[in-house]
Amino acid sequence: MFPVVAAAFLVGLFAYYAYHSLVPPRPKVCGSPGGPPVTAPRIKLANGRHLAYRERGVSRERAKHKVVLVHGFDSSKDMYIPLSQEVMKELDLYILVFDRAGYGESDPNPERSVKSEAFDIQELADRLNLGHKFYLMGASIGTYPVWSCTKYIPHRLAGVMLIVPVINFWWPSFPPQLVAETYKQQLKRDQWKLWIAHHTPVFVYWWMTQRLFPYSSIMERHPILLNERDLKTIQALPKIPDSDEQKIRQQGVYESLHRDLMIHFGKWEFDPMELKSPFEDARGPVYLWQGHNDKLVPVEMQRYVAKKLPWIKYHEVPDGGHLMIHEGKLCEAMFRELLLGEEPSF
């Protein structure tokens, strides 16, 4: 009997481990019993979810330029924007940053997709009376909602800017040879992370929480991701008041970080490189900023995107990295170009 009991115990132990390794815990929804408190203003969407937001600049009632800024991976509505109140007043600028679903104090969305992000933004803009058209900016992985808005709600956009947009190796328009070459440049841990997110997303939670193997360079803060300019930017960040980083993941890493990976590197409903300009004359303000020395986004692939979409004005900052939006001069130049059409100088 002992071998049978021991075998049953081992099977049960393996099943327990497998279940808890593959199935993420339930999210700790803000405002729910046992969940984090709600401290920020929020709007309630038609489907009952809440989106938390933060407003900056001049009041939305009097602002001439209203910009929705979409944060990136492991970030939130409290992301650092190095614009002074004086500059925002000069630009007559109102900035709205919101916690994307599952981040910070916004409710998780188990049905989150590339498409759903566009309609979250549209409903948020309508609830806050931003008007029929608004400007849209996104940084890093926060650009997949920008691509989505360009696809699904182009009539709502007054201008668009994509800042160091993360690419998806499985967008159909990319040449296979280019994909193979740049994919091999990624660290092995990231190759596995991206492959799992695209092909077997059910294993993303396991991969991102196991510690038998290196799992993600960005989560492990690997120095290979930062160029010299990024390092200088990070060294300046401690001088900035704490934005309460723990609140970013307080509802759980699965509905925030992991779902971001599954959506962005998953199968999209459309190919961004087949999009048409959101503006009728194809000369509207659509800009893409890329750092030549960005260690996270392969510049060769970004150039290909820009080549396929000639209606996008492409900027490649010679020594730029992935954190350009957090540099004061560059950040101001981005807003001036988007709102006023001023040609930037690096």
Buried b / exposed e along 216-226 (16+ C-beta atoms within 10 A): bbbeeeeeebb
Segment 281-285 shows an average pLDDT of 68
Candidate from 17-26, 42-51, 116-125, 179-188 with smallest mean pLDDT: 17-26
pLDDT at 69 > cutoff 90: yes
Segment 333-339 shows an average pLDDT of 98
- If you write DSSP's letter for every residue of 133-184 in order, what string do you get? -EEEEEEGGGGHHHHHHHHH-GGGEEEEEEESPPP-TT-TTS-HHHHHHHHH
Note whether 95 and 56 are within 8 A (CB): yes
Distance CA 190, CA 124 (A): 33
pLDDT digits (tens, 9 = 90+) for 175-228: 999 999 999 999 999 999 999 999 999 999 999 999 999 999 999 989 889 999
pLDDT digits (tens, 9 = 90+) for 111-168: 999 999 999 999 999 999 999 999 999 999 999 999 999 999 999 999 999 999 999 9
Segment 217-243 shows an average pLDDT of 83
What's the burial of 247, exposed, middle or buried (CB within 10 Å: 0-12/13-18/19+)? buried
Distance CA 276, CA 52 (A): 31
Distance CA 326, CA 10 (A): 51
- Residue 9: predicted pLDDT: 43
User: Which two structure tokens, joined as six digits, stand for 187?
Assistant: 């660290």
Distance CA 143, CA 186 (A): 20
- Residue 345: predicted pLDDT: 85
Confidence of residue 10 (pLDDT cuts 50, 70, 90): very low
Mean pLDDT of the chain: 92
Note whether 134 and 156 are within 8 A (CB): yes
